[in-house]
Amino acid sequence: MPVKLLKPKRFEDPRGWFVETYNQRRYVELGVDVEFRQDNHSLSRPVGVIRGLHFQAPPYAQAKLVRCIRGRIWDVAVDIRAGSPTYGGHVSAELTADNGHQLFVPAGFAHGFVTLEPDTEVEYKVNAFYDRDSEGGLIWNDPTLALPWPLPPGGPVVSDKDLLLPGLAEFRSPFAYDGVPLEPLQE
């Protein structure tokens, strides 16, 4: 399955708006055919909080459906499927509470984001339960990846745990290429 940028339709009137943030039948039609098992929610207080680049290895690999419900994030998915012609490549999108966009990140991609506003909240669905022994990641500032993080002047806020993650050169991927190359997101 490819990484997809999804734009759920909002129905607006003088009261505000209503949106279906997930409809299994509709998402299957859009190519997102996974059974979600867990919802996660994070609050990042300062601007510049980086969460990621994270994944869970098989057999607990996770596909994610990410949305920002307050504030703004720059969201990124990095191809870490061994043998992929786009290995180490990435796609990114700005997800905001205002635009309501969602990023679908299939298994085989490292995922991360940086907050662009204070008190940003992110929710995401995953299709496999959390398994501590299967968690992994890549260091956010790996020069091989050269991700164009939009950072504040004071630099990022990164957890001690995430600062210990390896770079792509030291990483041995547990994911196999599935024949679907990473493509630019459809805007």
Residues with catalytic function: 54, 124
In angstroms, the CA 11 to CA 21 distance is 12
- According to DSSP, residue 85 is labeled T
User: Could you tell me if 127 and 37 are in contact, meaning their C-beta atoms sit under 8 angstroms apart?
Assistant: yes
- Distance linking the first and last C-alpha atoms of the chain: 18
In angstroms, the CA 151 to CA 109 distance is 22
Sequence letter at residue 139: I
In angstroms, the CA 186 to CA 173 distance is 27
Q: How far is CA 13 from the centre of its chain?
A: 31
In angstroms, the CA 19 to CA 69 distance is 12
